[in-house]
């Protein structure tokens, strides 16, 4: 796991290339969402992209160890600057960029502020503006943390499953038990995660996103409660020429819940 020092902090990253090597392989930067490690991409997306001939760079955003946690807090501009610095330090640009949830927020702001670094853009489970319910959920999670309330791991896993998975998965007893076991073992915690909770969409960015020039595909997940499809559609409508795709029968964790459909969309679009 190589480490780069960018913007005065350590960022842990992963560099995966086809067997023939990275020299001539087109690069893809994968940007993870809030509370997630870059290693999550390695379950499904990294193998599919490497098999398709891409060099894939994934990383742990600041806030997620072994990258620096930065418990004092940070904003979207810091996360965008980290992604830009990685592209520059590794000499990837202009490259393909794909992100999920907070990672999509980072990716779309990167494409807007540094168009020289982004060739093609995939935005999964994204949005361009805050809305009442999602903002209330975020404030409630921050309040829980700040009051020092630690929920039982089993209860937290159930809530996380119901928020992030589709009814198709939740109603399958075998799959539901497997997910609950995983979520209980990988519960999100720590000062870095709390700092990431404070990174939210600031105001309505739809008008600003009309300035994005990279070829873009927005991928929404049909049963997503955290970033519902209509908010993803707004992003696609704002970005000139953007494509929109709805993946059925999956929730906010669609990239893990329906990996074949997500990988097909990623490879097809990024290969163009």
Active site residues: 101, 224, 252
How far is the CA of 190 from the CAs of 11, 148, 200, in angstroms?
17, 11, 18
Number of C-beta neighbours around residue 192 at 10 A: 22
SS3 percent helix, strand, coil of the chain, rounded to 5, is 45, 15, 35
Question: For strand 215-221 and strand 118-124, is the pairing parallel, antiparallel, or unpaired?
Answer: parallel
The strand pair at 55-59 and 95-100 is best described as: unpaired
- Whether the Cβ atoms of residue 25 and residue 52 lie closer than 8 Å to each other: no
Structure tokens at 209: 């996103």
Are residues 244 and 220 in contact, defined by beta-carbon separation less than 8 angstroms?
Answer: yes
* Positive or negative: CA dihedral 213, 214, 219, 220: negative
SS3 222: coil
Strand spans (E) along the chain = 3-6, 9-16, 27-31, 55-59, 95-100, 118-124, 215-221, 243-247
Instruction: Read off the tokens for 220.
Output: 């929404």
Strand partners, 247: 221
CA-atom Rg of the chain in angstroms: 18
């Amino acid at each position: 796991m190589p480490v780069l020092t960018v913007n005065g902090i350590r960022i842990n990253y992963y560099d995966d290339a086809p067997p023939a090597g990275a020299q001539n392989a087109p690069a893809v930067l994968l940007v993870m969402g809030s509370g997630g490690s870059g290693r999550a991409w390695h379950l499904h997306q990294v193998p599919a992209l490497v098999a398709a001939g891409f060099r894939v760079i994934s990383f742990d955003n600041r806030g997620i160890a072994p990258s620096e946690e930065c418990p004092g807090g940070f904003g979207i501009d810091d996360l965008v600057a980290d992604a830009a610095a990685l592209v520059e330090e590794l000499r990837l640009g202009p490259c393909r960029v794909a992100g999920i949830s907070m990672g999509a927020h980072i990716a779309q702001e990167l494409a807007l502020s540094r168009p020289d670094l982004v060739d093609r853009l995939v935005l999964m489970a994204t949005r361009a503006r805050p809305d009442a319910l999602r903002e209330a959920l975020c404030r409630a999670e921050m309040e829980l943390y700040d009051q020092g309330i630690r929920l039982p791991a089993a209860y937290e896993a159930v809530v996380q499953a119901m928020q992030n998975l589709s009814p198709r998965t939740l109603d399958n007893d075998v799959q539901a038990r497997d997910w609950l076991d995983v979520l209980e073992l990988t519960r999100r915690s720590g000062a870095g995660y709390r700092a990431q909770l404070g990174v939210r969409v600031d105001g309505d960015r739809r008008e600003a996103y009309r300035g994005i020039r990279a070829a873009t595909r927005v991928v929404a997940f049909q049963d997503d409660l955290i970033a519902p499809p209509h908010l993803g559609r707004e992003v696609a409508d704002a970005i000139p020429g953007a494509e929109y795709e709805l993946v059925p029968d999956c929730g906010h964790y669609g990239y893990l819940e329906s990996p074949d459909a997500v990988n097909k969309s990623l490879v097809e679009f990024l290969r163009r």
